[in-house]
Amino acid sequence: MDTRERLVKAAADLLVEGGKEAVSTRAVAAAAGVQAPTLYRLFGDKDGLLDAVAGFGFSDYLSSKHAMGVGDDPVDDLRRGWDLHIGFGLARPAFYLLMYGEPRKRAARLEADAMLREIIGRIAAAGRLTVPVEQAAQFVHAAGMGVVLALLATPEQERDLELIAFSRENVIRAITTDVAPDAPTDIPSRAIALRAALEEDPPLVLSPAERALLAEWLDRVAK
């Protein structure tokens, strides 16, 4: 284990044992057996160190998210992603709170957020999303985080784990539809699907001004 890895591991151990408050640069340097200037040289400051710790703690989670792959039904993929997210939060609360319990968005969280938006974008492309992608992503994120924090705040023996599936299905019901994409009465979902297509790579052959105007029109229709 090199010096950087020793420092990250030491900080991760302190985080698990005492929470974020226990992860001082002095304590981490002492636990890793290095001088404080070495820590600053490698990470810049404490936030840089915590970014690395968050990435270390979330590595298994992100690997599992990647390993999920793409199923035939993006709504089922959202279900699997929800369960994975909640399961991680309950299994590794110290890392979860570091990632989601403060305003700063760390690199590992940005990657996880991007995966969520990718799944929701596929639901939109299938014509099954009833609200704009960004709004749906924020709703799913807020609901999932609320479930984790509510369960963590409850003594383990008193937790009602049925809340996980109950919340998941109500969230999915609120943002998706089973109406076929070509149903003539489902204009908002079709608008959302086309709006998602605007963000695809390669983009539609439109000028920036045309893309902006079409996006504005579609956002209006989708409401």
| pLDDT at residue 201, as a whole number | 58
Does pLDDT of 70 surpass 90?
A: no
pLDDT on residue 198 = 61
- In this predicted structure, what is the pLDDT of residue 127? 87
The answer to whether residue 86 scores a pLDDT higher than 80 is yes
Q: Is the overall model pTM greater than 0.85, yes or no?
A: no
Q: Which two tokens stand for residue 149?
A: 């924090």
> Residues 159-187: pLDDT tens digits?
999 999 999 999 999 999 886 555 544 66
Asked whether the predicted pLDDT for residue 219 surpasses 80, the reply is no
CA-to-CA distance for 96 and 60, rounded, in angstroms? 12
Nearest Cα neighbor of 159 from 174, 169, 148 is 148
pLDDT at 191 over 70: no
From the list 75, 70, 21, 87, the residue with the least C-alpha distance to 50 is: 21
How many whole angstroms from its chain centre is CA 219?
A: 24
From residue 216, how far is each of 36, 132, 148, 199, 209 by CA, in Å?
52, 12, 35, 13, 11
Q: Encode pLDDT of 97-121 as tens digits.
A: 988 888 778 888 888 999 999 999 9
